[in-house]
Structure 1
């Protein structure tokens, strides 16, 4: 039996790399509750921290910021009560603390607050790190209050020459001094000694369309900011993917958008800061995404609309080697930033759509792995993945296979729809054949593991059935044979490079 925490219907949908409304809502609610528990853990850790790492004045400042955050949260309680069984409500302040990039901040804050025995010099570095993290929390509480319409006045500290109000915008080129922020009636006034005030208007409204025409205010649409002062840079909002969807921030400002590293992210470039031309390119690609996603099935549109809550632009990569020779773009997700996708500038809506399909699978599988245990394999990097030159751990292989099954399905559906033009159809068949050939080689390896839990085995078996189902509508024979030969060649190269030496 599948554990009652995860209904069999949900596991069946996820095994097909899909997810109906209830299944996606289950994953989202679980991630939201984990975020709230994480924030509570930060509160407890601050209260219990060694005074050398968290001095009393810093602790008191955190308490004041937490009180402002609670006031902002209470202010939204009557605005949108939760529907029966729907879990976490979405008051303006609650939306702010569930912002994907708050997750990396909370994790970093807990690391800085760790009570493990460390050398004195390391404690001093940790104390400096904690001061930076708690300055971010002050700005986070202020942004939540702005969203909730709670009037306040606070002194916030700039970091690295910029004061960032998470998800709203940033005041730049100001050094590392303090900024007085006064918010009231939909307007922020930012004051620095010896400088002219910067006035920022804040409104709940829709994002602009690609042509620049704005739409009127809409409940729950998102918070846009604008100012006549060039020092203020707003977070750009991309229009909601569906009419009922909220806009998606394109966040090139948040200090916690940077990837911490690790084997999954070794091919990612650093974060980018966008100029107007780059922002327009993002908007153009985003505008065309929905129609292309729809070619691969309405469920692809729905999962992006439900799960995507933030886009982080990355710099164009210098190029990285891959078994299939791919270079020039990169994308990724961060487990601690559920709802965020990191990506270099998408050159076309078609590549953007495929990127979103790919990354949504990583988000879903990571969230599922938080709900249930799928396997008990260790971290040893010893498995072949046709899309990587290096050996992969079992969990990394599972993540890759899961996203590649979804891409094989996506491209097959694109190839089969009547609306596809001949050139599009041929390209879709090539992509489908490549991804299916890769998963057909790797899925049996996953299935052979004795460390799969009952739930994990059910998931992998469903992926196998999905891969077999796609064989009922095969690509042209030449395309299929070419894809299979490429996978075999990649495996032969991998064996030569990774064979144990005497």
Structure 2
């Protein structure tokens, strides 16, 4: 049974907003789904054919799960992390389970364990073995954070042992290398054949340090606001890459940052809270409630320093993937855009908004290709949030930035206005879906009370007309010939 979403919460989200209670509702539901997903991995492994998941692997998983449960019970309930909702304390073990990139790992496991996943070929078994071994690394970190002594063997992947939230060990050998880990008293001793031991010391809130050249610590940016938890900047996790998906076809690959790039991230991040607040206090509120980690991407080929790419992942709730932000305002816009996608995806897990067929295709002025109804709704919702953000910046921001804000507001509002008739006119909207879309329409109409200067509006309409003409030409040339 789907959880109940109050009408008030649905209305707030339809306006691309969301108070603290509404955002906490989304977070709680996503966290519950994550815990169920993790349990599904254990059950799927237990039921898997021995040729896919051996008896030894199943026993290791059960042992790791038991240690994880012990760590969850043993950890003091006093540390508040980015994963805490409504002020509740979260144990370090639970925080690791709920960190965004644990989701893609769990999905990878389920795909490999699925009975219909394909033949048990060597490559599938190898990837599944790596995925299941990664759980041991996660559990070891949880035990270390909880103060539980543990000695275990982990497997480095292609010469890198990733320890979530701590860092990564680069092994002396290449390939998949066995590493003995002894964790106790706030430190981990990492032992491998033909290499000196590496001793790693846990930091109090995030990360771990070591003087050994073979160790790369996990990095984090300061909290978005004073008192907020550090924001992980994760360029180490092996499951941070995106594979496939209609929203991700233009994404570049994951980046490994050097000191110069980290400084650029810090420079943009340091001004992002103020930039978000300038577009409405609720934008900062939603970032604080929903954002849990940042995943850096390579700059797309041909980018001129202003362009970039970004995404969210449905299976990695709370993660934002982005190339290096050029400025705080640009990064604030990226956050607004992507967090609307995250909110709508989380809401769609709780409420059926429409029952449109996946093969229906619509014009979307922000994309060159035809979009399915769900993609159209997602895009319109994100652009509506941006139109609101930049209108508020234009009305209340500094005069020097007003013209740029008006230009962006006018373009985003025109784009949303072009697709609202298709969204509203769909016969496939559910009752609650129609309530949601009606709120989007009302939010769009309210913006007319403070219109952009005429020149910006005219240019936005010209841009829209040009986009529609090009889109129509592309569709006509892609149609098969008659007969």
Q: Sort the TM-score into its range (normalised by shorter chain).
A: over 0.9
Hey, what's the Cα distance between the residues in 1 that align with 2:79 and 2:459? 54
Which residue, out of 414, 418, 421, partners 1:441? Answer: 418
Matched ranges for 1:337-356 at <5 A: 337-356=316-335
What is the CA RMSD across the aligned residues, in angstroms? 2.0
Report the equivalent of 2:189. Answer: 189
1:32–1:88 Cα contact (<8 Å) kept: no
1:471 match: secondary structure: helix
Report the equivalent of 2:150. Answer: 152
Q: Are 2:92 and 1:57 equivalent residues in the alignment? A: no
Report the alpha carbon displacement of residue 203 of structure 1 after superposing the two structures with TM: 2.1
Matched ranges for 1:174-323 at <5 A: 174=172, 175=174, 176-204=176-204, 222-319=205-302
Report the equivalent of 2:368. Answer: 389
Report the equivalent of 1:420. Answer: 398
Report the alpha carbon displacement of residue 88 of structure 1 after superposing the two structures with TM: 8.0
Report the equivalent of 1:32. Answer: 31
Report the equivalent of 1:10. Answer: 9
Report the equivalent of 1:367. Answer: 346
Moved more, 63-72 or 275-284: 63-72
Hey, what's the Cα distance between the residues in 2 that align with 1:158 and 1:169? 12
Q: Deviations over 1:435-474 (max 9, x none)?
A: 0000000111111100011111111110011011001101
Distance of aligned partners of 1:255 and 1:432 in 2 relative to their CA distance in 1, 3 Å threshold: same
Q: Are 2:450 and 1:492 equivalent residues in the alignment? A: no
Q: Deviations over 1:32-53 (max 9, x none)?
A: 0000000111111111110000
1:97–1:144 Cα contact (<8 Å) kept: no
Report the equivalent of 2:457. Answer: 480
1:237–1:248 Cα contact (<8 Å) kept: yes
Q: Compute the TM-score of the two structures, normalised by the length of structure 2.
A: 0.94
Report the alpha carbon displacement of residue 89 of structure 1 after superposing the two structures with TM: 5.6
Report the alpha carbon displacement of residue 125 of structure 1 after superposing the two structures with TM: 3.3
Hey, what's the Cα distance between the residues in 2 that align with 1:30 and 1:154? 33
Report the alpha carbon displacement of residue 326 of structure 1 after superposing the two structures with TM: 12
Q: Deviations over 1:83-128 (max 9, x none)?
A: xx96986111000010100001101101111112844xx4443322
Distance of aligned partners of 1:259 and 1:381 in 2 relative to their CA distance in 1, 3 Å threshold: farther
2:75–2:92 Cα contact (<8 Å) kept: yes
Q: Deviations over 1:25-70 (max 9, x none)?
A: 0000000000000011111111111000011111111122112211
Report the equivalent of 2:100. Answer: 100
2:77–2:90 Cα contact (<8 Å) kept: no
Distance of aligned partners of 1:183 and 1:273 in 2 relative to their CA distance in 1, 3 Å threshold: same
Report the equivalent of 1:358. Answer: 337
Report the equivalent of 2:390. Answer: 411
Hey, what's the Cα distance between the residues in 2 that align with 1:472 and 1:281? 38
Q: Deviations over 1:315-368 (max 9, x none)?
A: 010159xxxx99830000000000000000111111111000101000000000
Q: Which runs of 5+ in 2 are unaligned?
A: none
1:189 match: secondary structure: strand
Hey, what's the Cα distance between the residues in 1 that align with 2:319 and 2:443? 27
Moved more, 255-264 or 29-38: 255-264
Hey, what's the Cα distance between the residues in 1 that align with 2:337 and 2:404? 17
Hey, what's the Cα distance between the residues in 1 that align with 2:106 and 2:465? 44
Hey, what's the Cα distance between the residues in 1 that align with 2:117 and 2:238? 28
Report the alpha carbon displacement of residue 262 of structure 1 after superposing the two structures with TM: 1.9
Hey, what's the Cα distance between the residues in 2 that align with 1:326 and 1:452? 41
Report the alpha carbon displacement of residue 480 of structure 1 after superposing the two structures with TM: 0.4
Hey, what's the Cα distance between the residues in 2 that align with 1:41 and 1:495? 45
